Chain A
Amino acid sequence: MKIVAVCGFGVGSSVIAKMNMEQILAQRGEEDIDVETVDLGSVTSVDADLYVTTHELFDQFPESITDKTLVLNNFVDVNEIREQLLPRVDALRDR
């Protein structure tokens, strides 16, 4: 499975989101999920199972991937990210 965190340049907020998601996934023993970062302009060139971003950038997402996107209000609160991320990961597993 592949998760991509998206921000304006792929170097700031998305990196923080990636670090926190990796920590959450590692804590649950998920070993076959790759987490990467990408900038908004390149988002369509990266094929992923789940895209993670903020409200403001989501509004600019291409329609083709909006169904595969998780919008987070908070990129730094690990508990809040966990509550939103893990149900999405489970749903992807059940496909």
Chain B
Amino acid sequence: MSKEALTPRFVQLGVAAGDWRDALRRGAVPLLNAGNITETYVDNMIQAVETLGPYIVIAPGIALGHARPDRSVLHTGFSLSTLTMPVEFGSQSNDPVDIVVILAAVDASSHINALHHLATFLGSKDNLALLRGASTPADIDEVVDRINKG
């Protein structure tokens, strides 16, 4: 990943997902296309939820899909997707999910800077409103801009 935490190619708006597994699979597409991860990583993310529960739904409506850093991650990065229809992850307090972040890290430290930008962005209700209402390429640019500045 370059100096920027995020570029527009890693943001998807209005993704149609049938269920939580589908949401994680579709949310991971930009990282697969860019060669950040392999299909194995996607399977590992899904398995993590099956094993540990839907703890990755870290805030109301927001899932942070991720798995353990291993060889299925080629480059550290993350993607951001909004869903047309929210899906249930089975979270006790934060369902349904309409924002899916997929995080991939090659080790335990390379993604800290990116996570910092991400956490700052997600911590603002204004930013979440912007993201949830986003529909155009210009909106994506604005989201990316705010994340990189944060």
Residues of A bordering B, CB below 8 Å: 7-13, 15-16, 19-20, 40, 53-57, 59-60, 73-78
Contact = CB atoms under 8 A, between A and B. Distances in A.
B53 A56 contact: yes
Nearest to A15: B115
30 contacts: A7-B55, A9-B48, A9-B69, A11-B68, A11-B111, A12-B56, A12-B103, A13-B55, A13-B58, A13-B66, A15-B112, A16-B118, A16-B119, A16-B122, A19-B115, A19-B116, A19-B119, A20-B119, A20-B123, A40-B52, A54-B55, A54-B58, A55-B91, A56-B53, A56-B55, A56-B92, A60-B52, A60-B53, A74-B59, A74-B94
Contact of A75 (B48, B58, B111, B112): B58
Chain B interface SS verdict (over half): loop
Contacts of A54: 55, 58
